[in-house]
Amino acid sequence: MKKGRILNQKLSEAIASMGHGDWILVTDAGFPIPNDSRRIDLALEANIPTVQQVLSAILSDFVYERCIITLEQKTNYPKLYSQIEAMIDRCPIETLPYSQFMSDFANKPKFFVRTGAFEPWGNIALCSGVDAPRWFLKDKGIIVPDYYEERVNYKEKG
Our answer to whether residue 20 is catalytic in this structure is yes
20, 48, 75, 142: the catalytic one is 20
Burial class of residue 58, CB neighbours in 10 A (0-12, 13-18, 19+) = buried
Closest by Cα among 137, 130, 120 to 31: 120
DSSP reduced 3-state for 143:
coil
Contact call for residues 24 and 14 (beta carbons, < 8 A): yes
DSSP string, 52-108: HHHHHHHHTT--EEEEEEEHHHHHH-HHHHHHHHHH--SSPEEEE-HHHHHHHTSS-
- Residues contacting 99, CB < 8 A, separation 6+: none
Q: List residues with catalytic annotation.
A: 20
